[in-house]
A and B are shown apart, each in its own frame.
Chain A
Amino acid sequence: MTGRWRALWRLFAVQGAWNYERMLGIGMGYAAEPMLEDLKSADPARHAEAAVRSAEFFNSHPYLAGLALGAVVRAEYDGLPGAQILRLRTALCSPLGALGDRFFWAGLVPACVGLALVFLTAGFIGPALAGLLILYNGIRVGTAVWGLATGLRSGSKVGAAIGRSWLPRAAEAIGPVAGLTMGIAIPLVAGWYLRGAGVQIAGVLGLAALGVWLSWRFGNVATSPRFGLVTIVVGLLLAWGLH
């Protein structure tokens, strides 16, 4: 099968045409196209059906879409019935979404950002950012390569392959790491901003505690950007009044 690397490249833009009807579907169809090329000469009718199926509704974490893409393309080459392939796609949506959200968004992002904040507040701004981008994207790109290869190797048995892989264990393990790094980073960030603020530190911490309580109690309305914007505008008006 040719076109694997082109497909991998295209997976980096799998959300390029994200919409509420097919979600990642069009991006998946676009990424599948190079890998389905060989099917065109072998079985043109099958290729046309496979191309239609490849762009149907699909939703998952974008970084793990390669697992589904590889599995579905392999299933097309294996000649599985179309209905079974569509069921495979649908069955992969929720697990890949949940696993990816847990590992990347709720785990790896705060873990890496927390680590970067620790270095940045110590004065290493450039190395902190470079480290953040290299570490995160090393794992992100590695996962994309692994995902596509695993999907292509496993076909319709991709669910079992994911279950046996490093991913569920990593999703489990990254949570405490994210908690630890964020826990270390937040006081250091506070110190980085408030060094020399004197008695105002107590006021800042009190206001922060109020904000945490508000977001806990009224999280749907008092979202962090809204609470932040309102609080800051009040602060600006106060400062303007003092002036």
Chain B
Amino acid sequence: MGVPAADFLLVLLWGTLAGMDLVSVPQMLISRPIVAGTVAGWLLGDLEGGARIGVLLELFALDVLPVGASRYPDYGPAAVGAAALVAGQPWDRLLAPAAALGLGMAIVGGWTLLWLRHANARSLQERTAALAAGEAGAFRALQYAGLFRDGVRSLLLTAVALLLALAARHLPFAAQPGFILAGRIAIAAGLAAAVGGALRNAGRDVRLRWLGIGAAVGMLWLLAT
């Protein structure tokens, strides 16, 4: 039920990159759960399992706009931990516990972003004089310290998510068909989040009409296949 140490380190590194991608660097979408979770599953030898939990968490993430100073969940490390719980096991029975782990860690991740922003501000206050003098060294020091802090934050967040996932892998989710029902409840919650987010984003303008057209096409496509 465990994960080999080399794989653990690999997904730990991946989760750290995904965590840093959300705000600090490089903001290239690898923090999206569809990417972070699926790649983590692939690294752990279960692409399908990673995709299943990654897409489910993505439905929740689609409801969130990571706008400026607002607090938003950090789904990257969370998706990596959730994928580690599902990997190599029947995804339909592990979907609900993995989603609970992922959502819980995403919320915790959002809180750690607040800590990071305050720590960056404290660091800035300590260098007020150097900044007022326009010392380039002060900019660099603040920038590197901020990146380092976010790296540590993302590393710790991923490590906690992975350790919780490893612990949860010892629970008998896979053996119980009842957890398939729990998984479907998780899917319902994810669909609610995605639809709610899409409607809010659409507002009342032309985009709402295109959302409706898309939904009709999607349903027809589904019925036809």
Contact = CB atoms under 8 A, between A and B. Distances in A.
B145 A18 contact: no
A207 B189 contact: yes
A208 B214 contact: no
Contacts of A42: none
B26 A229 contact: no
Interface string B167-208: 000001000101101111111111111111111111001111
B188 A229 contact: no
Contacts of B87: none
A199 to B, nearest CB: 11
Interface in A188-212: 188-194, 197, 200, 203-212
Contacts of B217: 180, 183-184
A114 B134 CA distance: 45
Contacts of B2: none
Interface residues of B, number: 106
B99 to A, nearest CB: 5
A132 interface: yes
Contacts of A13: 24-26, 143, 147
Contact of B213 (A15, A19, A101, A180): A180
Contacts of B39: 129
Interface in A79-117: 97, 101, 105-106, 109-110, 112-114, 116-117
Overall SS of chain B's interface: helix
Given A26-B143, A225-B107, A132 B35 contact: yes
A227 B193 contact: yes
B172 to A, nearest CB: 8
Interface residues of A, number: 101
Interface stretch (A46-54, A66-74, A152-160, A162-170): A46-54
B191 A189 contact: yes
A65 B101 CA distance: 35
Contacts of B55: 117, 120-121, 189, 192
A114 B25 CA distance: 24
A55 B178 CA distance: 56
Contacts of A136: 28-29
B77 interface: no
Contact of A125 (B48, B176, B182, B216): B48
Given A48-B134, A49-B134, A186 B186 contact: no
Nearest to B190: A228
Given A133-B28, A189-B191, A229-B100, A182 B198 contact: yes
A54 to B, nearest CB: 8
Contacts of B209: 176, 179
5 contacts: A62-B27, A182-B62, A187-B218, A211-B192, A232-B182
Interface of A: 12-13, 15-23, 26-27, 29-30, 33, 47-52, 55, 59, 62-63, 97, 101, 105-106, 109-110, 112-114, 116-117, 120-121, 125-126, 129, 132-133, 136-137, 140, 175-194, 197, 200, 203-212, 214-216, 219, 223-229, 231-236, 238-240, 242-243
Given A16-B146, A63-B27, A125-B48, 14 more contacts: A19-B123, A19-B124, A23-B69, A117-B55, A126-B47, A179-B208, A179-B214, A184-B218, A187-B215, A187-B221, A189-B59, A208-B189, A225-B193, A240-B178
